[in-house]
């Protein structure tokens, strides 16, 4: 079955890949830390060592403190594939996804400016606020209207993502249809052996597996309902806005997440973006910035936050940010702030 807009359901070919090339100025693929934390919590509930698993996947605990921060999608996929069997992953990925749209602040913020759900979806602007390369679209087939979501990221498996995306698009429709609404038909890429009870799917819903995307059938009368008035929690800036789509912005977001415990090396970032370190350096040069400058900026901002919000000693802050010599940290901080870390902290306390 083929839906309009080029979506093919039930095809055996791979989903479209998002080629990341620095020449096009595209950013590394990123995912919100809030999603990583959701899976980690599910692991802990099963009695697994989530912290150790994250570390082995290259995701240090320090970057999980900021729930709006970002991590490279390949790291997250490595964490998933290394720790869960197919059935476990399919089951817990559904329950790890927030079931309320208020938990998708970036997505809900996009929707607030449209009169109806149909208008918002037809605009083509829905998606990518919460997960990189996630698109949410309308399509039609056999006089039926479908709402579908598909991650276009290279390497993402349907087994890993489909239950998560199912709950995401259900939350979108339930914002106008009510929390108890279920579609009559559900299409999923994951295998038919998936246990339906773990998705809480109503008995009357027809579920088809092995499809090319996640899709649900939505009645037109629901699509034409007025979108609820925006609530403060939908658009709260503290919950994170759009994921950066420019190279420098994306690298700043990555380095912010990884500025503690284990700063990302240039060679690592280049590998994640599918280009050579020299190519990445050239693109940064065209943008008028160097990787060293971005790294120093991220470490300085992390130092400011630690000095302002914690009681850690200057020495502890230096080691937490990866400096081998506290004196080196103090000199670097003073070059940026115009004051030593100790003087900066004392000034901040005096102003409170």
**DSSP letters along 81-138, please?**
HHH--HHHHHHHHHHHS-SSGGG-HHHHHHHTT-SBHHHHHHTT--SSSSBTTEEEEE
Residue (of 100, 99, 105) closest to 231 by Cα position: 105
| pLDDT in the model for residue 10 | 35
Confidence of residue 119 (pLDDT cuts 50, 70, 90): confident
Residues 184 and 278 in one domain: no
Q: What angle do CA 255, 257, 263 make, to 5 degrees?
A: 50
| pLDDT in the model for residue 9 | 37
Cα pseudo-dihedral 232, 237, 241, 246, rounded to 10: 150
Domain boundary among 178, 205, 232: 232
- Residue 16 falls within a domain, yes or no? no
Residues 225 and 268 in one domain: no
Cα pseudo-dihedral 251, 253, 259, 265, rounded to 10: -20
Cα pseudo-dihedral 290, 295, 297, 302, rounded to 10: 170
Question: Is a pLDDT exceeding 50 seen at residue 4?
Answer: no
What is d(CA 57, CA 23) in angstroms, rounded to the nearest whole number? 28
- Residue 147 falls within a domain, yes or no? yes
Cα dist from 57 to 121, 158, 233, 235, 239, whole Å: 35, 20, 32, 32, 25
| pLDDT in the model for residue 308 | 86
| pLDDT in the model for residue 237 | 40
Residues 128 and 264 in one domain: no
* Residue-number span of the structural domain to which 129 is assigned: 22-232
What is d(CA 319, CA 341) in angstroms, rounded to the nearest whole number? 14
Confidence of residue 289 (pLDDT cuts 50, 70, 90): very high
Residues 183 and 260 in one domain: no
- Residue 35 falls within a domain, yes or no? yes
- CB distance 158 to 190 below 8 Å: yes
Residues 41 and 163 in one domain: yes
- Residue 98 falls within a domain, yes or no? yes
| pLDDT in the model for residue 21 | 34
- Residue 298 falls within a domain, yes or no? yes
Residues 218 and 103 in one domain: yes
- CB distance 123 to 113 below 8 Å: no
Question: Is a pLDDT exceeding 90 seen at residue 227?
Answer: no
DSSP-derived letter for residue 313 is: -
DSSP-derived letter for residue 2 is: B
Cα dist from 64 to 114, 117, 206, whole Å: 33, 33, 38
Residues 178 and 295 in one domain: no
The residue ranking higher by pLDDT, 154 or 280, is 280
| Average pLDDT across the chain, whole number | 75
CATH number, position 218: 3.90.1520
Residues 154 and 27 in one domain: yes
Question: Is a pLDDT exceeding 70 seen at residue 179?
Answer: yes
Residues 158 and 267 in one domain: no
DSSP-derived letter for residue 8 is: B
Domain boundary among 232, 265, 280: 232
Question: Is a pLDDT exceeding 70 seen at residue 1?
Answer: no
Strands 206-208 and 185-187 turn out to be parallel
Residues 47 and 85 in one domain: yes
Range among 1-15, 90-104, 248-262 rated most confident: 248-262
Confidence of residue 153 (pLDDT cuts 50, 70, 90): low
Question: Is a pLDDT exceeding 80 seen at residue 148?
Answer: yes
Domain boundary among 232, 266, 293: 232
Confidence of residue 152 (pLDDT cuts 50, 70, 90): low
| pLDDT in the model for residue 262 | 66
* Tally of domains in the chain: 2
Residues 145 and 293 in one domain: no
Confidence of residue 314 (pLDDT cuts 50, 70, 90): very high
- Residue 7 falls within a domain, yes or no? no
Mean pLDDT across 197-223: 79
Question: Is a pLDDT exceeding 80 seen at residue 320?
Answer: yes
Question: Is a pLDDT exceeding 50 seen at residue 14?
Answer: no
To 10 degrees, what angle do helices 33-45 and 86-96 make? 120
Cα pseudo-dihedral 167, 214, 93, 200, rounded to 10: 50
Question: Is a pLDDT exceeding 80 seen at residue 235?
Answer: no
- Residue 72 falls within a domain, yes or no? yes
Q: How many helices (H) and strands (E) does the chain have?
A: 16, 7
Mean pLDDT across 212-239: 72
Question: Is a pLDDT exceeding 90 seen at residue 218?
Answer: yes
Residue (of 279, 314, 281) closest to 295 by Cα position: 281
- Residue 240 falls within a domain, yes or no? no
CATH number, position 293: 1.10.10.60
| pLDDT in the model for residue 321 | 87
Confidence of residue 3 (pLDDT cuts 50, 70, 90): very low
Tell how far CA 256 is from the center of its chain: 15
Q: By percentage, how much of the chain surpasses pLDDT 70?
A: 70
Residues 67 and 190 in one domain: yes
Burial 271-282 (b: 16+ CB within 10 A, else e): ebbbbeeeebbe
Lowest-pLDDT choice from 172-186, 212-226, 252-266: 252-266
| pTM, entire model | 0.71
């Amino acid at each position: 079955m083929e839906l309009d807009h080029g979506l093919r359901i039930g095809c055996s070919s791979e989903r479209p890949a998002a080629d990341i090339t620095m020449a096009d100025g595209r950013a590394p693929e990123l995912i919100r830390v809030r999603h990583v934390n959701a899976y980690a919590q599910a692991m802990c509930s099963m009695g697994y060592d989530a912290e150790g698993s994250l570390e082995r996947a290259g995701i240090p605990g320090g970057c999980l403190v900021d729930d709006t921060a970002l991590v490279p999608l390949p790291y997250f996929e490595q964490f998933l594939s290394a720790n869960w069997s197919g059935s476990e992953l399919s089951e817990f990925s559904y329950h790890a996804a927030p079931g309320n749209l208020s938990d998708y602040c970036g997505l809900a913020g996009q929707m607030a400016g449209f009169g109806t759900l149909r208008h918002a979806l037809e605009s083509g602007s829905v998606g990518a606020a919460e997960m990189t390369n996630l698109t949410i679209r309308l399509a039609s087939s056999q006089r039926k209207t479908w709402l579908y979501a598909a991650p276009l990221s290279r390497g993402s498996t349907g087994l890993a993502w489909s239950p998560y995306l199912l709950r995401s698009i259900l939350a979108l429709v339930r914002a106008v249809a009510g929390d108890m609404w279920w579609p009559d038909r559900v299409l999923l890429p994951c295998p038919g052996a998936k246990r339906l009870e773990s998705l809480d799917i109503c008995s009357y819903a027809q579920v088809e597996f092995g499809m090319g995307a996640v899709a649900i059938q939505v009645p037109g009368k629901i699509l034409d309902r007025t979108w609820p008035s925006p609530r403060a929690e939908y658009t709260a800036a503290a919950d994170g806005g759009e994921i950066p789509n420019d190279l420098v912005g994306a690298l700043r977001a990555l380095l912010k997440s990884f500025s503690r415990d284990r700063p990302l090396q240039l060679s690592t970032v280049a590998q994640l973006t599918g280009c050579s370190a020299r190519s990445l350096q050239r693109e940064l040069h065209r943008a008028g910035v160097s990787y060293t400058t971005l790294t120093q900026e991220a470490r300085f901002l992390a130092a400011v936050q630690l000095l302002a919000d914690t009681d850690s000693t200057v020495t502890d802050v230096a080691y937490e940010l990866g400096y081998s010599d506290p004196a080196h940290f103090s000199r670097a901080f003073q070059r940026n702030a115009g004051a030593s870390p100790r003087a900066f902290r004392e000034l901040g306390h005096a102003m409170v």
